[in-house]
Amino acid sequence: MDIIVSAPGKVILHGEHSVVYGKPAIAASLNLRSYIHLTPTNDGKVSVNLPSLHLKQSWEITDLEKIAALNNDSPDEVMKMIIELVEKNSDLHGSKTQACSTFLYLYIAICGRNRMSSSMKIQLYSKLPIGAGLGSSASFSVCLATALLLNQNMISDELTVEDRKLIESWSFQGERIIHGNPSGIDNAVATYGGAIRFQSGEILPLQNIPKLRILLVSTGVPRSTKTLVANVRDKYNRLHNIMTPVLEAMASLTVECEKLFVKMSSGDESCTLNFTALEEMIDMNQHLLQTIGVSHPELDKICDITKKYGLHSKLTGAGGGGCAFTLLTPNLKEETLNSVIQELKAEGFHCFETDVGTSGVLIETEPPEKIF
């Protein structure tokens, strides 16, 4: 039976990078989603079509069975063989290698548990920009894990709490292949949706979050989360005593922001003073993120432009390019918003206003081919 699932991207409000060091972070899902369409076949192959990467690739089940036979004995050996198999195609580099290795790893781990006999075609479509800090990798991993688990009847169509736990843990394995050392926040938001507070694998859904309007601004500068996280780790190892209080300050910002959200949702949500405090926190975090070396001249430029209009922005996700978000306050005039968007566009940035806090992973009925 065909399986169609979708999962959202995310925006991290506070706590990117520090979350990798066990500090709390707050993130919310975005209404930009990835979709997977899995079709069982009987051609003895596993085929993927990844239009976002202009990539179509297939592998013989017999080759994958040889790797699956090693599964329990040596996970490192499995990964080595997967990479060798992927790199047999010399056209595959960077993001394509990451995507194929993640797919094959999850396929072998989930479908190779019993006897591997699942020949299938997988198509993945996404509204998310790839490598822009909006969690495309997690949305990809969550879609893959869900579709493969459904194919193996390891979860039910209802996507119960237990099912989602399983999806979350498999998608984390996918993120590990793409990122190296992910915190797990992105795949948690993509699985559960809404807004969450995340710390060391603990996920707390945030019910008390005010309605926030944000503008996402993309620099168009490509970057890799894996590289940025590794650079921060290097700084952390070399300049431990300096980095530690900076990461602590990021943690305190998350905690204070969460307190403010609770206060706002139990009182006057649109109170100007609360928004001023939120804006102050956004500025402070952007400066801390600059300090740890993950901003970019184009991200700084977005902050400078929006500041001229009285608006406050920070990078979101791993930084180094990718996206920033700007908080749109309730009393913001539409003409001011239009002017700031116009200036950002004139500087070559791409702007989109989005809803946050949408559903997590979903089983769909419409084939994504109809949407894209």
Ligand X SMILES: C[C@@](O)(CCOP(=O)(O)O)CC(=O)O
Ligand Y SMILES: Nc1ncnc2c1ncn2[C@@H]1O[C@H](COP(=O)(O)OP(=O)(O)O)[C@@H](O)[C@H]1O
157 is catalytic: no
Collapse the DSSP code of 367 into the 3-class scheme (helix H, G, I; strand E, B; otherwise coil) and give the result.
coil
Task: Report the residue number, 108 or 292, with the smaller CB distance to ligand X.
Answer: 292
Q: Which residue is nearest to ligand X (CB)?
A: 317
24 binds ligand Y (CB under 6 A): no
131 binds ligand Y (CB under 6 A): yes
CB of 135 to ligand X, least distance (A): 4
Residues 6 or more apart in contact with residue 38 via CB below 8 angstroms: 2, 3, 4, 120, 121, 122, 147, 148, 150, 151
Residues 6 or more apart in contact with residue 299 via CB below 8 angstroms: 219, 315, 319, 321, 322, 324
CB of 126 to ligand Y, least distance (A): 4
Residues 6 or more apart in contact with residue 289 via CB below 8 angstroms: 16, 17, 250, 295, 314, 315, 319
Helix pair angle (185-192, 136-151), 10° resolution = 60
What does the alpha-carbon distance between residue 163 and residue 73 come to, in Å, rounded to a whole number?
Answer: 26
Query: Would you state the structure tokens that stand for residue 45, as one six-digit string?
Result: 């192959």
Task: Report the residue number, 6 or 225, with the smaller CB distance to Mg ion.
Answer: 225
126 binds ligand Y (CB under 6 A): yes
137 binds Mg ion (CB under 5 A): yes
CB of 62 to ligand Y, least distance (A): 25
Binding residues vs ligand X (CB under 6 A): 16-17, 19-20, 133-135, 137, 179, 182-183, 185-186, 225, 229, 317-318
DSSP 243-281: HHHHHHHHHHHHHHHHHHHHHHHHS-TT-HHHHHHHHHH
Task: Report the residue number, 133 or 360, with the smaller CB distance to ligand X.
Answer: 133
The count of chain residues that interact with ligand Y, using the rule CB under 6 A, is 23
102 binds Mg ion (CB under 5 A): no
What does the alpha-carbon distance between residue 273 and residue 278 come to, in Å, rounded to a whole number?
Answer: 9
- Contact by Cβ (8 Å): 37, 175: no
Q: Which candidate in 186, 218, 224, 295 is catalytic?
A: 186
355 is catalytic: no
CB of 198 to ligand X, least distance (A): 8
Residues 6 or more apart in contact with residue 13 via CB below 8 angstroms: 26, 27, 28, 257, 316
In terms of DSSP bridges, do strands 350-354 and 195-199 run parallel, antiparallel, or are they unpaired? unpaired
Q: Which of ligand X, Mg ion, ligand Y, none lies near 130, with the C-beta cut-off 5 to 8 A by kind?
A: ligand Y
Q: What angle do CA 88, 41, 75 make, to 5 degrees?
A: 45
224 binds Mg ion (CB under 5 A): no
Ramachandran category for residue 8: left, alpha or beta (phi over 0 → left; psi -120 to 50 → alpha)? beta
52: DSSP letter: G
Q: List the one residue from 59, 105, 107, 140 that touches ligand Y (CB under 6 A).
A: 140
135 binds ligand Y (CB under 6 A): yes
Task: Report the residue number, 99 or 148, with the smaller CB distance to ligand Y.
Answer: 99
Q: Which of ligand Y, Mg ion, ligand X, none lies near 148, with the C-beta cut-off 5 to 8 A by kind?
A: none
Q: Which of ligand Y, Mg ion, ligand X, none lies near 182, with the C-beta cut-off 5 to 8 A by kind?
A: ligand X
Q: List the one residue from 225, 274, 316, 326 that touches Mg ion (CB under 5 A).
A: 225
Q: Which candidate in 6, 52, 126, 137 is catalytic?
A: 137
What does the alpha-carbon distance between residue 226 and residue 6 come to, in Å, rounded to a whole number?
Answer: 24
Q: Which of ligand X, ligand Y, Mg ion, none lies near 251, with the C-beta cut-off 5 to 8 A by kind?
A: none
Residues that bind Mg ion (CB under 5 A): 137, 225
Residues that bind ligand Y (CB under 6 A): 34, 50, 52-53, 95, 98-99, 124, 126, 130-137, 140, 178-179, 224-225, 317
Active site residues: 137, 186
